[in-house]
Amino acid sequence: MSITLTDQDTHTLRTAAWGAVSLMTAAGAAGSPHKTATEGSIALTSATGLVGHVLAKAPKGLSAKSTAELADQVLPALTASMSLLRQHAPAEADNFRRTVIVAIEATAHAQKGEPSPTMAEMARKITEALDAAPPGGADSEAVAKAAGQDRPELQKVIQEMVDSGFVGVTLRVRDERGEWVGSAGVGELGGTEEPPADGHFRIGSNTKTFTATVVLQLVGEGRLGLDDVVADHLPEFGLDRRITVRMLLQHTSGVFNFTGDYYPEFVPGVVFQGREWVEGRFRTYRPEELVRLALSKPAKFEPGTDWSYANTNYVLARLLVEKVTVRSLGEEMRRLILGPLGLTGTVVPDTSTDVPEPHAHAYYRYEEDGQEKVADVTRQNPSWISTGGDMISTTADLATFLSALVGGRLLPAPLLAEMCTPESKAGYGLGLFVQDVPGGGKVITHNGGITGHAGLMYSTPDGRKTLTASLNYVDDAALSMGEPFQKATQRLVQEVFGGGQAGSADATAEPAQ
């Protein structure tokens, strides 16, 4: 999918974005207007894709206007820009909105202390103007259906996934042809409607990538060091002093996985399967409780000498963030990622049990008195997994997040390079996998699953092509959907990133448990 912009269209987009920065600068003029304008301008000129090309140059005629005159010109231009892009290039509409939000956030942060009430009010008006365009639902569906005629190979793959046993699948691909969104199966057992294209779902271990990004952002702020001794920050747990922040993010600490681990025989941890879990799925666990459970078991290996995936590492990372910032991980996530990127569909639930509407349903199969039962487990208290896999998001937000991350919008280049440098055993960097794809090249990825919901998240290293997907299915203690899950991810990676070539992609899908 492509879009041809007229000179007037280009002027409208520039007026809208650069005008938003000018409005924020005017609203904060009592502080440091030059710094405010500079920070906003940097954010605009850092945009990628078509939007980045258009916004690289500022329009003429904005600075001479009064604030009222400027608002009368800019606010309608913001709405018009969103309407234009939603109709012709939905992915670029998301990019434009995100870019403007990042720019006005940058102008607000340029002020000393909290933004003034005047700036906060102007930010609200700008956001309302962006969101005043006709909802993308109907238009997006029409675009997706039209695009679907050009991408039958993608629709075929997700239908095959449903045929293999998944209840429903939604796939979103953003690449040089634009954005394609398709669904197959149903959102609810016994229903007839497909999973919602913009549906929320539990993303499982994709949470780890978000969490690692927050930790690295704090490193970038100078509040942590990758080689800091974790025990110095969290002395209450008696951790091995050889364990560093880097080892937590890379799963090389050797700590026991509190959802169960192998020595090589399996040693159980917190209950997350069977009838006992179904009946107790609204119980609250505190992260400290999960860590103490893990530390009551022997370490798997000496810190830094091997690799083993352990949810405990990321619960420790959560506690580390909260100790250093004296704020909840959710608050830091909103400050550093969700707010700047405009990820309104992403939630850090902590102990909250609900998944926002719209959403597909998640299920769990178990045995009771010799009878097989299937429970709807969409509602559950995810504190049993905590930062190992508790977050909720959408395929659009995951695509936006991963593209921004690998595209360099969230981390300084040296820290992004550290994040994307994999260890040798599993190809795990700091909160993500780096994998080869059929036909050459690599993808940056992290997948996740949590009791009936799963998420896929892939990107090229430059962030220009992304694949995100949500799956809903009937889970069970035998993880019977594990093999179909692996085959499906391999097939999708081959189709989107490998040109449909036959071969094998190590599409590791690490479930939360």
Q: Confidence band (pLDDT; 50, 70, 90) for 137?
A: very low
Q: Confidence band (pLDDT; 50, 70, 90) for 238?
A: very high
CA atoms of 428 and 365, how far apart (whole Å): 32
pLDDT at 142: 44
Question: What's the mean pLDDT in 319-340?
Answer: 96
Question: What's the mean pLDDT in 470-497?
Answer: 92
Structure tokens at 376: 């709807």
Least confident of 25-29, 82-86, 199-203, 297-301: 25-29
Q: Confidence band (pLDDT; 50, 70, 90) for 235?
A: very high
CA atoms of 51 and 102, how far apart (whole Å): 13
Q: Are 299 and 252 in contact (CB under 8 A)?
A: no
Percentage of the residues of the chain whose pLDDT score is greater than 70: 87
Q: Confidence band (pLDDT; 50, 70, 90) for 144?
A: very low
pLDDT at 295: 97
| pLDDT over threshold 60, residue 155 | yes
403 catalytic residue (yes or no): no
Which amino acid is residue 278, in one-letter code? V
pTM: predicted TM-score of the whole model, two decimal places: 0.74
CA-based nearest residue to 213, from 125, 364, 336, 383: 336
pLDDT at 216: 98
Query: Phi then psi for 471, rounded to 5 degrees?
Result: -130, 140
pLDDT at 124: 83
CA atoms of 215 and 209, how far apart (whole Å): 10
Residue pLDDT, tens place only, 280-296: 999 999 999 999 999 99
How many C-beta neighbours within 10 Å does residue 168 have? 27
- Angle 170-172-175 from CA coordinates, rounded to 5°: 160
220-229 burial by CB neighbour count: b if 16+ within 10 A, else e?
beeebebebb
Residue pLDDT, tens place only, 164-178: 999 999 999 998 878
Q: Are 78 and 16 in contact (CB under 8 A)?
A: yes
Cα dist. 401→36, 245, 408, 444 in Å? Answer: 25, 23, 11, 12
pLDDT at 115: 63
Q: Confidence band (pLDDT; 50, 70, 90) for 500?
A: low
pLDDT at 377: 98
Instruction: Give the active site residue among 41, 140, 183, 205.
Output: 205
Structure tokens at 186: 């149903």
Q: Are 13 and 52 in contact (CB under 8 A)?
A: no
Q: What is the dihedral of CA 200, 204, 205, 211, to 10 degrees?
A: 60
Residue pLDDT, tens place only, 40-88: 677 677 666 677 778 888 877 665 457 777 787 788 888 888 888 887 7
| pLDDT over threshold 60, residue 207 | yes
Contacts of 46-51 with C-beta under 8 Å, sequence gap 24+, read: 46/409, 47/95, 47/99, 48/95, 48/403, 48/407, 48/409, 48/463, 48/464, 49/91, 49/92, 49/95, 49/464, 50/3, 50/5, 50/89, 50/92, 50/95, 51/13, 51/92, 51/95, 51/96, 51/99
DSSP codes of every residue in 298-309? PPSS-TTS----
Least confident of 1-10, 66-75, 256-265, 427-436: 1-10
Question: What's the mean pLDDT in 352-358?
Answer: 95
Positive or negative: CA dihedral 322, 323, 324, 326: positive
pLDDT at 261: 94
Residue pLDDT, tens place only, 376-410: 999 999 999 999 999 999 999 999 999 999 999 99
DSSP codes of every residue in 230-259? HHHH-GGG---TT-BHHHHHHT-S----TT
Place of tokens 């559950």: 380
CA atoms of 36 and 29, how far apart (whole Å): 8
Least confident of 129-138, 182-191, 213-222, 306-315: 129-138
Strands 392-393, 474-476: parallel, antiparallel or unpaired by DSSP?
A: unpaired
pLDDT at 502: 37
pLDDT at 47: 63
Query: Phi then psi for 169, rounded to 5 degrees?
Result: -140, 135
